[in-house]
Structure 1
Amino acid sequence: MSTASRSYDPTLARKVAFIGLGVMGYPMAGHLARAGHAVTVYNRTAAKAQAWVAEYGGAAAASPAQAAVGADIVFACVGNDDDLRAVVLGEQGAFTGMKPGAIFVDHTTASAEVARELHAAALAQGFHFVDAPVSGGQAGAVNGALTVMCGGDAPPFDAIRPVALAFSKAVTLVGASGAGQLAKMVNQICIAGLVQGLSEAIAFGQKAGLDMVQVLDVIGKGAAQSWQMDNRGKTMVEGQFNFGFAVDWMRKDLGLVLDEARRNGARLPVTAVVDQFYADVQAQGGRRWDTSSLITRLK
């Protein structure tokens, strides 16, 4: 269900900020505005923030600190650990503008280490920090149907959950600080293996002379069914790879996964191989293709 069709409840209205208006953040912030929240946005490219205001209302700020002033909740969705530290801890970072008791909610896919670092820094300054990476891709953000996996303390989570449901179908606390990021790593491990398996299956079927659109319809009703098969199988058959989550981003995420595995001793042989397969896709010019482009290695 899109936020546009959700009923507005004025008792839930909050003053919020949203930092980072990329392919995920732009529509996520839009859902917050449509749900009745007072939204101030910040984006490194100011023109993007002005375009958002023209579309949704609210206000644009010149810095993360300015966006955070007076906000009950500050949401962010940026690129990586370094970007996150910059918008939180920098000279004009959000923590310099947040009021006591405010909550910072990080939707960036980042390391568990930086989540714990910023959680501790927030508590030391009288704020709260929730790591809250999302799954569902650009389509999930646009349709208000993301899955949000959160790490942190229960009281701030309880406060942000009804607000985050503006752009989500599920918002769940999975553990202490950093647990949200670890859960997102589990998600990416699953996806990497599934997409590689689906790629091999489709390539095999094509070599065997099968009508793979028909075969996917048949096996999609049985034990082989998956979100990847339902949403990417037929476009993989057709050689279409422009559906959002890019290979470059997946390699960034898998790098986080493999770094964490080296720390905790987990063995990820398939994930490590698929990461290198994505490196092959990058080398053949597919950096911005979506993750289903793994199949191109098999053509």
Structure 2
Amino acid sequence: MSGPVVRSPSKCLTATRDTAHETVAELAAASGVVALCLSEDSDTVEVADRGRRLRSMHHGAVLVNHGTGLPQAARELAQLAAAHGAHVVDSPVSGGHAVAVARQLTTMGGGQSAMERVTPVFETDSRPWQRPLTPGRTAASAEDRTGR
């Protein structure tokens, strides 16, 4: 795995002051929402748990998992986060390069009320799609089959 990627803030954050942090753990401690988008479930757990992101996040913060993985891994991540007082939104993203450039990705989400907290962030570059009590991985599978 490579090091952290720092992206410029979206339009919803332009009024927010940027603050530099020495480590990703410090950044996680200062953030109400931390998003990961890794290709392997094991990498997501490694970064979130053993990489100290979850331990660094404040109580009630939200970890968003944009990676594509298995439902069991999403449940495991939610259990790990709960042990640290954080919430998880299981939120795979669907689209392609052209869709991403047009800011029209489909962001599926599952994670109870935490989804409501991150929806305004998702709306800056995607079309959030939530089904009550449906984990995002299951929603992604349904989206792939229906072509939504």
Interval of TM-score (by shorter of Structure 1 and Structure 2): 0.7 to 0.9
Alignment-derived partner of residue 156 in structure 1: 114
Q: CA shift at 1:20, angstroms?
A: 5.8
Question: Which structure shows the higher helix fraction?
Answer: 1
Contact 1:20 1:77 in 2 (8 A): no
Of 60, 81, 87, the match for 2:41: 81
Alignment-derived partner of residue 143 in structure 2: 187
Of 41, 47, 55, the match for 1:96: 55
Task: Give the Cα separation in 1 of the matches to 2:32 and 2:118.
Answer: 9
Letter matched to residue 171 of structure 1: P
Alignment-derived partner of residue 129 in structure 1: 88
TM-score under structure 1 length normalisation = 0.43
1:99 aligned counterpart, secondary structure: coil
Any gaps of 5 or more consecutive residues in structure 2? none
Task: Give the Cα separation in 2 of the matches to 1:165 and 1:150.
Answer: 12
Task: Describe the shift of the 1:142–1:62 C-alpha distance in structure 2 as closer, same or farther (beyond 3 A).
Answer: farther
CA RMSD of aligned residues (A): 2.7
Q: CA shift at 1:136, angstroms?
A: 1.2
For CA contacts below 8 A with separation 6 or more, give which structure has more relative contact order: 2
Task: Give the Cα separation in 1 of the matches to 2:30 and 2:108.
Answer: 26
Letter matched to residue 109 of structure 2: C
Alignment-derived partner of residue 174 in structure 1: 131
1:196-242: CA deviation from partner (whole Å, max 9, x where unpaired): xxxxxxxxxxxxxxxxxxxxxxxxxxxxxxx9xxxxxxxxxxxxxxx
1:35 aligned counterpart, secondary structure: helix
TM-score under structure 2 length normalisation = 0.82
Contact 2:34 2:64 in 1 (8 A): yes
Alignment-derived partner of residue 35 in structure 1: 12
1:146 aligns with 2:123: no
1:100 aligned counterpart, secondary structure: coil
Any gaps of 5 or more consecutive residues in structure 1? 1-18, 40-56, 192-226, 228-299
Alignment-derived partner of residue 123 in structure 2: 165
Contact 2:106 2:128 in 1 (8 A): yes
Contact 1:106 1:133 in 2 (8 A): yes
Contact 2:94 2:140 in 1 (8 A): yes
Task: Give the Cα separation in 2 of the matches to 1:126 and 1:149.
Answer: 23
1:3-29: CA deviation from partner (whole Å, max 9, x where unpaired): xxxxxxxxxxxxxxxx964xxxx7xx4
Instruction: Report sequence identity in percent.
Output: 29
Task: Give the Cα separation in 2 of the matches to 1:60 and 1:140.
Answer: 32
Alignment-derived partner of residue 69 in structure 1: 29
